[in-house]
Structure 1
């Protein structure tokens, strides 16, 4: 059975209160029960002392002394607070019994050697009995004394108390449940308000926020947390829209260029040299478009966590040297001096394939945005486990450094026309570093150069 949140609150609280009430009522009943029977047992014990004071014995024979107590009304009456007395000898023969016992006899256990209290019924009347062994001067049991008093009054009190407690218990639980349901409704009213407000939020009004209660409690924390989530979703929503817009723009540029070139070629016949020049331009624009699609695919795979990361021990110097060898002609073409200052056998924890893609992107960027006869340095700080890739190129304006890892962002628009790229490379680098638990930061001084710092965390 599925219960609403309000009913669950009321039910759980009712269970807790029911248990506490049950314990309290049981304690009350137990105290009254103990007090009632303790009072009866004390009366029996007092009567026993009086009887023993008037008993005597000779050997194994019990001798009854005549005393006024035997003739008291309480030993003759049956209906109103009677006291019953029975004395038997060691053989079970009755030595004495009070007049109010009439033809009845108390059942007794002849083997009892210590005082024992128990309940019995005589003439349909509930009796509390106490059985006491009678010892002679030689400390030998020569008989049994049984004294009984009516427990009907105590029984009635306990019986009525039990009925009252049970009725009160279920009545109070019923009332408490309705009270708890009302209180729970009031308690979760802010939650219902949050639900209603959240249900009205969609893509058209994603900038709307939930009302935050004034009370400093868990509901306020919930509303604040949901609003923070909505802030992140709104940012992601607008970033997604911006990403779509930028991707469309980046695709439109090479497509427009290809279309323009083809239209120019179709206007009139051209010389073979002119066709070759224009077709080379088409190839360049096609390569640019192909690179864009490839990087978009990489981003999609990274965001969907399709790539698995297998961190292992990697020799950093080998990875840097492999990239340097691959791009040796690229360095020469751009007149760049590459300096690999990584100590031999420097071991780090990373995914070698993903790390190679990160370093390849950073090193090629350091070359592309460098100056003729510039330098690219790869340095290692063993104490801080930090790899630094530094160039002495054109640098980045300080107000643009924080946007460097944004998708489709290129720091210097003036160089975008002659330096290939679309602003996705560093976004991919950032995501690849996050997947490997590598912290990447950037420092740059315009006209002085740029440094990327990679801190490797185990």
Structure 2
């Protein structure tokens, strides 16, 4: 259906009202119809009782007594409310006809065995007929009595009523259509306002919001839902802009370093040892750029696809031991002591590959930001199924904790070339935790250390 929303509302409401009106008018007509014909049928039965009271029979013969009833005016006239009487025998021969029938006769069913009513026409006049079988003393049918009365008045009443009902129905439906259009226009006016307001929102004014209708109804709920969606889109929009800016900044640093080193080398000839030293610096910056590229690619894959964790029973000690061995060189270099109290039987339901990536990020952070000769405590709490990794490093200010899992965020004290990193590791770890319904949180005290908590589902 290509009708507008306003016209669809009007049409559906009109159809509903039209159906109800049709039922109501049909009921009115049916009641009047039944009442009219019931009145005629009652008159016919009354007449039948009088006629039967003046009939007699001898075996198979019907005997009619002479009585004033046969001479009544209603049985002689045919123009005004006449009553027609006809009696026939089993052979269909007329034994009696009222004078007003003249040369006509009433239709009847010779096989009729019960009382029957039906409509007929005599001399272009509509009549209501009742046919009654005549029984002798033995219960045998010996003839048929047919009585007819004029139904012209009832027909006229019903005909006029039908015309009035149809005309009224069409008139009301026609008026209602325009009323429904007007009402529908008023009903969807807030929707039109929302459409106009939404059409004006673009990337330049994405902070704009739809006006909320005064009524606490579904349209207000729709506006609130759209505003919530705009809030999420605005947040995502600014995150993307910030992501692009941060990525450019992070890539610019190693590129600027490489460019500076090459420019220094090109100014004048250097000794082989000097070239080797500067090439090592280029390699460090290149490795940093390569790591940034890998992590950006990994983060893009995580956020662009729907990840499904393939959970299984995983021994925590195996993963922790694996990544402590991976970072063994750095641990020894910084003289860090590892204090692990995770029991061998500690198991969790997780995706082993994703959990290894999380452990790698958290353990490498605990090593990088620890103090020289510090400790790393790795503990398992079976009561609430929580794994904690605690370092004795530089710590994080409390006002920076909420931003810690944002992409490219690094606490101010850690933004130096002495501590490698680009602020993507914890963002990736948080995304991997969310996929597995693992809670990731942090507690930290400035210059004392930080504790990262992994709470596994039961």
- Distance in 2 of aligned mates of 1:456 and 1:115: 88
| Residue-by-residue CA offset, 1:136-162 (whole Å, 9 max, x unaligned) | 333332222111111122122222222
Alpha-carbon distance change, 43 to 378 in structure 1, aligned in 2, over 3 angstroms: farther
TM-score (norm 1): 0.93
Instruction: Tell me the distance in 1 between the aligned counterparts of 2:222 and 2:64.
Output: 87
Inter-partner Cα distance in structure 1 for 2:377 and 2:436: 23
Residues 42 and 382 from structure 1, CA distance in 2 versus in 1: closer, same or farther, beyond 3 angstroms?
A: farther
TM-score calculated relative to the size of structure 2: 0.93
Q: Provide the rounded CA distance (Å) in 1 between the counterparts of 2:118 and 2:389.
A: 96
SS in 2 for 1:214: coil
Contact kept? 1:29, 1:158, Cα under 8 Å: yes
8 Å Cα contact 1:323/1:360 also seen in 2: yes
Matches within 5 A, 1:19-418: 19-305=19-305, 308-317=307-316, 318-344=318-344, 346-414=346-414, 416-418=416-418
User: Cα deviations across residues 48-87 of structure 1 (Å, max 9, x unaligned)?
Assistant: 1111222222322222122212111111111211111111
Cα distance change of structure 1 residues 87 and 231 upon mapping to structure 2, 3 Å threshold:
same
Conserved? CA contact 2:89–2:142, under 8 Å: yes
Measured in 1, the distance between the counterparts of 2:309 and 2:229 equals: 31
Aligned partners of 1:410 and 1:416 also within 8 Å: no
Shift of residue 348 of structure 1? 3.7
User: Is the 8 Å Cα contact of residues 316 and 342 (structure 1) preserved in structure 2?
Assistant: no
CA distance in 2, matches of 1:272, 1:449: 43
SS at match of 1:146: strand
Contact 2:369 2:414 in 1 (8 A): no
How far does residue 330 in structure 1 lie from its aligned partner after superposition?
3.2
CA distance in structure 2 between the partners assigned to 1:330 and 1:138 by the alignment: 126
Q: Distance in 2 between matches of 1:374 and 1:403?
A: 25
Q: Give the drift of 1:422.
A: 1.0
Residues paired across the two proteins, number: 457
Q: Unpaired runs of 5+ in structure 2?
A: none
Distance in 1 (CA, whole Å) between partners of 2:215 and 2:48 is: 70
On the 8 A contact 1:311/1:349 being kept in 2, the answer is no
**Equivalent-residue separation in structure 2 for 1:4 and 1:356 (angstroms):** 56
Deviation of 1:342 (Å)? 4.0
Q: Whole-Å Cα distance in 1 between the matches of residues 120 and 382 of structure 2?
A: 93
Change (3 A) 1:457 1:153: farther
Relative to structure 1, the CA distance from residue 151 to residue 291 in structure 2 (aligned partners, 3 Å threshold; closer, same or farther) is same
Check conservation: 1:75, 1:84, Cα contact below 8 A: yes
Instruction: Kindly indicate whether the alpha-carbon contact (under 8 Å) linking 1:309 and 1:351 is maintained by their aligned counterparts in 2.
Output: no
Contact between 1:83 and 1:149, CA under 8 Å: does it hold in 2?
yes
Is 2:85–2:145's contact at 8 Å kept on the other side of the alignment? yes
Q: What CA distance in whole angstroms lies between the structure 2 residues aligned with 1:51 and 1:377?
A: 118
1:20-64, CA deviations, whole angstroms, 9 ceiling, x for partnerless residues?
Answer: 111111111111111111111111111111112222223222221
RMSD of aligned C-alpha atoms?
2.1
Offset from partner CA, 1:342-368 (integer Å, 9 cap, x none):
444555443332222112111111121
Give the direction of change, closer, same or farther, for the CA distance of 1:339–1:34 in structure 2 (3 Å limit): farther
- Assess if the C-alpha contact under 8 Å between 1:438 and 1:457 holds in 2: yes
Q: CA deviation at 1:166?
A: 1.9
Quick check: 1:194–1:223 contact (8 Å CA) kept in 2? yes
SS of the residue 1:45 aligns to:
helix
Please tell me whether the aligned partners of residues 89 and 143 of structure 2 are also in contact (alpha carbons under 8 angstroms).
yes
